[in-house]
Amino acid sequence: MDLGLLTRQSELCWRIEAHGAMRVPGVLYGDETLLEAMDHKVYEQVANVAALPGIVGASYAMPDAHWGYGFPIGGVAAFDAAAGGVVSAGGVGFDISCGVRSLNTGLTRAGLRGRESALADALYRAIPVGLGSTGGIRLDAVQMDAMLAGGARWALEQGYGEPADLERTEEHGCMAGARPDRVSDHAKLRQRDEMGTLGSGNHYLEIQQVEEIFDDAAARAFGLRPGDLLATIHCGSRGMGHQIGTEFLRSMAVAAQESGIRLPDRELACAPVRSDIGQAYLGAMRAGINCALANRQIITHLVRGAFARVLPDARLTMLYDVSHNTCKVETHTVDGARRELYVHRKGATRAFGPGHPDLPAAFRDVGQPVLIGGSMGTASYVLAGSAEGEALSFSSSCHGAGRAMSRHQAKRTWRGREIVDELATRGIVIRSASLRGVAEEAPGAYKDVGEVVDAADAAGLSRKVARVTPVVCIKG
């Protein structure tokens, strides 16, 4: 990105002054290196989002922002329904409520020594991964609607998980306002055999070791000590979310076309919150969020089962579950007034600061855990929401490393077997259904997540709490 197009507000905050159709400025977070490396398309997409009706404050880009669909990935935008604000299927994305869930295992790295392969095999057998895999659960029509309405709470009622899991999940495990009747039969059919599956691409299940602590108080609240083992799940709403996204992107695009709205990019298609299609999307998208929450809850149960077979001393408790592709109604202070806003986070993590009423009591003093995934050979991070985050980005932070190289280039650069062997020499055990998939997900194909996290920390979006490194990685 040409930095000459931006106004530098501070070391880590850059502005696109409102021009043309922009209703608000664009605000980008990151250091000079990250901003220079960002695609110019991010500039265009941040500016395009700033032109949408009812946008409040600014159109934001997190330090890991990259070229997305209409909205940048790493984009945050809030809309006021009373001011004609919109909801956008592209602003949420295809993988509705894709997110990260981490569990404390009650074990240390030393306690796993010698059992790494056995645990990897048990997890790989227990959790269906990769394209075409099916879960052990098949939902009929009534169960499907109950799942879409109930989310992780429904999963718990079916025997997956423990009651304490829910309070450590955003929305307490159940997104209110879900409308299963707004979800098409196609979406339901696509999901029928996919409950409890991890998916593919950048989705994974990792056993990680806490390598470094940056914030003692927050680490204590999150139950993290050096050498501790975590189990972390990265996946989303599977075929259900993909199909809801596909269908509403189209219906919003056609509706815009029919009503004569000229959008600079079809993918920006959106609808007023207070419209039939806007309400239909919100109802379906919330059902998609519940699908993702239920899915991660079922996988949690499967992970616990695999641990119990290999390491009976393990006691897996929830650290937290975050979603990074959502639109949620939240109340934020804007220019001194409390306003109800539809906050879109596309590839961005909610990061409520200390004292936020939605946080479990254990996190009230330190802020929300913000779980940031890296690649299978590099570090991941645990951060905490900051007090200043609300004013900076409606309490939002980054979500991951982002790719540095296309899949095609990665496939030509590495062979899956070499990656698996190389990681094994570093003590990282990989299990995957596809060696080509491993090559395309090679650690070298990703950007350095450390730079992104440092920028998020320095900008005040969230605070670094701990760095964790992979020990076992199950790739989809």
Partner 1 sequence: MAAPGNCNTGTWEHFPHGADVGVRGYGESVEEAFARAALALTAVITDPAGVEQRDRVPIRCEAPDTELLLVDWLNALVYEMATRRMVFGRFDVRIRNGRLDATACGERLDPGRHQPAVEVKGATYTALGVARRPDGTWVAQCVVDV
Shortest Cβ 294–partner 1 spacing (Å): 18
Would you say 33 or 257 has its CB closer to partner 1? 257
Would you say 367 or 437 has its CB closer to partner 1? 437
Would you say 56 or 100 has its CB closer to partner 1? 100
Shortest Cβ 203–partner 1 spacing (Å): 9
The token pair at 400 is 């991951």
Shortest Cβ 286–partner 1 spacing (Å): 19
Report the candidate in 74, 49, 81, 47 with the shortest Cα–Cα distance to residue 342. 81
**DSSP letter at 264?**
S
Place of tokens 């304490």: 164
Shortest Cβ 377–partner 1 spacing (Å): 17
Does the annotation mark 399 as catalytic?
Answer: yes
Shortest Cβ 323–partner 1 spacing (Å): 16
Q: Which residues, other chains included, contact 241 with Cβ-Cβ below 8 Å and sequence gap of 6+?
A: 94, 95, 96, 97, 98, 288, 291, 292, 325
HSE-CB at 148 with a 13 A cutoff on CA atoms is: 31
447 contacts 402 by C-beta, under 8 angstroms? yes
Q: How many CB atoms lie within 10 A of CB 168?
A: 21
Q: Which residues pair with 321 in a beta bridge?
A: 101, 169
Would you say 218 or 430 has its CB closer to partner 1? 430
Shortest Cβ 149–partner 1 spacing (Å): 23
406 contacts 39 by C-beta, under 8 angstroms? no
Residues near partner 1, by CB under 8 A: 39, 66-70, 73, 93-95, 130-134, 186, 189-190, 199-202, 239, 241-243, 245-246, 249-250, 253-254, 257, 265-267, 269, 402-403, 406-409, 411, 433-437, 440, 476
- Spell out a b/e string for 235-250, using b for 16 or more CB atoms within 10 Å of the CB, else e: bbbbbbbbbbbbbbbe
Would you say 266 or 315 has its CB closer to partner 1? 266
The token pair at 189 is 């059919």
Shortest Cβ 325–partner 1 spacing (Å): 11
Q: Which residues pair with 328 in a beta bridge?
A: 343
Distance between CA 440 and CA 416 in Å, rounded? 8
Would you say 56 or 96 has its CB closer to partner 1? 96
173 contacts 153 by C-beta, under 8 angstroms? yes
Would you say 43 or 69 has its CB closer to partner 1? 69
Options 203, 301, 324, 399, the catalytic residue: 399
Would you say 119 or 240 has its CB closer to partner 1? 240
382 contacts 403 by C-beta, under 8 angstroms? no
Q: Is 346 helix (H, G, I), strand (E, B) or coil?
A: strand
The token pair at 320 is 């937290």
Shortest Cβ 165–partner 1 spacing (Å): 27
Would you say 426 or 436 has its CB closer to partner 1? 436
Q: How many CB atoms lie within 10 A of CB 4?
A: 5
Distance between CA 105 and CA 368 in Å, rounded? 20
Place of tokens 């599977």: 238
Q: Is 189 helix (H, G, I), strand (E, B) or coil?
A: helix
Find the radius of gyration of the CA atoms of the chain: 21
Shortest Cβ 161–partner 1 spacing (Å): 25
219 contacts 171 by C-beta, under 8 angstroms? no
The token pair at 356 is 């936020």
Length of the chain (residues): 476
Q: Which residues are catalytic?
A: 399
